[in-house]
Amino acid sequence: MYLLIPSSEHLAMEYTHPKILKFNIKGGINDLQGYTPVSDLAPLRVTNEVYPVGEEEEVWDSEFTRDAFEQEKVAWEESETRKKFEVTLSKAKDHKINNIVGLACGSLSRPGRSKSAFQHVLLVTAKNWLQTNGLDELSCYMQDPEYTDVDRRIFRDVGFQVVDDPEGFLKVDGQSIVLSIAANVPTKLIIADIARPAIVIWFVVEEMDTLMLDPNSDRVREMMKGYDKREFKPDGTQFRDAAIYIRRTKDEPPFQGKA
C-alpha cells in the first residue's frame, strides 16, 4: 500500500502488511540468488514513485502493436515451452472442450504489459491445437476492461471475441479452457464458485493464503483436488509461477455449486 507524501510529487510511504512480512521472512519471495532482499522485510519505507494522475495512458497504434505481437508469437512458437504445452493439451484430448476464455490477460497496445502477449499467444496455440485435432465448433473469448480498439481488432483476426465483464465469466463451464494469470480481480474465487472447467491455467495454488488480488482460498484448494497439475517447463520467466490444471473427470455434469 502506498501513501503519497504531499510535500513531494515523487516520494511515497510504502506499507507492507504483517502477513506478507511473515511470508517474506520465511523465504516466500526469494529471488534467483536464493535470498530475500532486506528491503522486503521492512514494514514501512520511503520510495520514489511516479503517479501520472490525470494523464491518459499511451496506446500504441495498430501497426506497432501488431508487429510486436507477431514477434512475440514467433518467439513463443519456436520455444520448447510451446511444444511442452501442446503435449500437455493432449492429456485432455478426451475432454469435451468447446470454448476458451481468457480473463484479465492485459492489453497488447498499452506499454508495460510485457507478459500479456505470451498469455494471448498461448490461448491462440490452444485454439489452433483443438482445431487441428478435429474440433470444428469452438468459441473463443477474451475479457479485460483495459482492452483497446487496437486489441479488439487483433483478437478478432486470430479468432477471439472480446466481451465485457461479467460475460467472460458467464461463458465458463465444464467444457472450457480458462486462462487467468496474476489477475487484478479474484478470478480463482469466482471460477471456483461457478464451474469446473476442463483446464485452468493460473498461478500455482499453494497451501498458504496470499494477499494477491487473485488469492488462493480454501474453496480454490478444494476445487483443485479434482485436477492434475502440469508445470510449464522449461520456461524462463513468462510462466514461471503458473501451472496448467487438467480436470481428472472427462465428463462433468453442470456445476451446482457447493453442496
Cis before residue 166, ω within 30 degrees of 0? yes
Report how far residue 188's alpha carbon sits from residue 182's, in angstroms, rounded to the nearest whole number.
10
Report how far residue 147's alpha carbon sits from residue 107's, in angstroms, rounded to the nearest whole number.
5
Assess whether 29 and 154 both reside in one domain: no
Assess whether 112 and 68 both reside in one domain: yes
Report how far residue 60's alpha carbon sits from residue 39's, in angstroms, rounded to the nearest whole number.
34
In a domain, 13, yes or no: yes
pTM, two decimal places: 0.78
In a domain, 83, yes or no: yes
Query: Domain limits at 128?
Result: 62-247
How many domains does the structure of the chain reveal? Answer: 2
In a domain, 54, yes or no: no
pLDDT digit of tens for each residue in the chain (259 aa)?
A: 444 444 444 455 555 555 555 656 665 444 444 555 665 566 666 655 554 555 677 899 999 999 999 999 999 999 999 999 999 999 998 999 999 999 999 999 999 888 899 999 999 999 999 999 988 889 999 999 999 999 999 999 999 999 999 999 999 999 999 999 989 899 999 999 999 999 999 999 988 776 678 989 899 999 999 999 999 876 666 788 899 999 999 987 778 776 3
What is the CATH number for 213?
3.40.50
Assess whether 20 and 142 both reside in one domain: no
In a domain, 257, yes or no: no
- How confident is the model at residue 72, as a pLDDT? 93
Assess whether 33 and 69 both reside in one domain: no
C-alpha cell of residue 222? 478444494
In a domain, 66, yes or no: yes
Assess whether 27 and 135 both reside in one domain: no
Assess whether 142 and 117 both reside in one domain: yes
In a domain, 207, yes or no: yes
Assess whether 12 and 131 both reside in one domain: no
Assess whether 68 and 190 both reside in one domain: yes
In a domain, 53, yes or no: no
8 A C-beta contact, residue 230 and residue 204: no
Assess whether 185 and 242 both reside in one domain: yes
Assess whether 33 and 112 both reside in one domain: no
8 A C-beta contact, residue 245 and residue 199: yes
